[in-house]
Amino acid sequence: MTVTTRVFEGQLTTLHERGHQVIRLHDLVAVLQGSQAVLPDRAVVLTVDDGHRTVYTDLFPLITRLRLPVTLFIYPTAISNASYALTWEQLAEMKASGLVDVQSHTLWHPNFNVERRRLASPAYERFVQDQLIKSKVILEQRLGGKVDLLAWPFGIYDQQLMQWASAAGYVMAFSIERRAVTRTENLMALPRYIVTDADRGARFGALLSGPTEQPATKAKAVPQ
Ligand SMILES: [Zn+2]
């Protein structure tokens, strides 16, 4: 979420000291899609939503120095437009580094709960399709590469939204449920931890020590 640069640097140091390896989001995607690739133990993925300009001024130098891959989830209407936001040139430069991937956070970050109440059913569907498809098309045209991952604005999703996102060409989508990813996730609602300045010391340690797999009862439900 929002974290001061010094605390963020401390969190990256803690990850390193505790043996966590930062991997590319697409490496995790491949494994969840059934690839036989093996992820390192204690693998971590870094994602940053919204595209504020401090991603360029503060985060990018840090991850460049440490050679850590990061995925940015961007809503294109803010870029080179809102005063707080990144520019297309900055996004292109970061993407060219090979460390930064840029994926979709819808077109302008609406609250789908509000829009569902505000719009009649067909208009709501068109609205959602626009948010999902135009974001993907604009990011692909502006920056090249494939955009097939989505972060739900405000973490809001439901069955209908997940279906529409799949139809729009997204292979995975991300929520903000505070727990680790397991091997048996709903691929259109993968959990992520919101990390803030409060996540330091023992609290950050506890986050990293959290269970990495579902409880055994769930694992046993898989047919032998
Ligand atoms: Zn957001």
How far, in Å, is the centroid of ligand 1 from the Cα of 49?
5
Q: Give the residue from 160, 170, 149, 137 showing the smallest Cα distance to 104.
A: 149
Q: Provide CATH code, domain 5-212.
A: 3.20.20.370
d(CA 176, CA 50): 14
Alpha-carbon distances of 212 from 20, 180, 183, 191, 208, rounded to whole Å = 12, 6, 9, 12, 9
- DSSP secondary structure code for residue 198 in this structure: T
Cα 36 to averaged position of ligand 1 atoms, centre (Å): 32
H-helix or E-strand containing 203? Answer: helix 202-209
Global pTM reads 0.92
CA distance 109 to 111: 7
- Distance, CA of 117 to CA of 146 (rounded, Å): 32
Instruction: Please return the burial class of 145, using the count of CB atoms within 10 Å of its CB with bins 0-12, 13-18 and 19+.
Output: exposed
Give distance in angstroms: CA of 132 to centre of ligand 1.
14
Q: What's the pLDDT tens digit per position in 7-43?
A: 999 999 999 999 999 999 999 999 999 998 899 988 9
Q: Average pLDDT of 67-94?
A: 98
Q: How many Å lie between the centroid of ligand 1 and the Cα of residue 9?
A: 22
CA of residue 140 to ligand 1 center, whole Å = 19
Pairing relation of β-strands 100-104 and 70-74?
parallel
Calculate how far, in angstroms, residue 10's C-alpha sits from the geometric centre of ligand 1: 23
What is the pLDDT at residue 57?
Answer: 98
Q: What is the pLDDT of residues 98-114, one digit of tens each?
A: 999 999 999 999 999 99
pLDDT tens across 187-219, in order? 999 999 999 999 998 899 888 887 654 444 444
Cα 98 from Cα 65, distance rounded (Å): 13
87 CA → ligand 1 middle, Å: 17
Ligand 1 center from residue 209 Cα (angstroms): 26
Other C-beta atoms lying within 10 Å of the C-beta of residue 100: 22
- Whole-number Å distance, alpha carbon 44 to ligand 1 midpoint, is 20
Total length of the chain: 224
Mean pLDDT for the chain overall: 92
Domain residue ranges in the chain: 5-212
Which pLDDT tens digit goes with each residue over 99-154? 999 999 999 999 999 999 999 999 999 999 999 999 999 999 999 999 999 999 99
- Give CA–CA dist 103/136, Å, rounded: 8
Two tokens, residue 80 = 């080179």
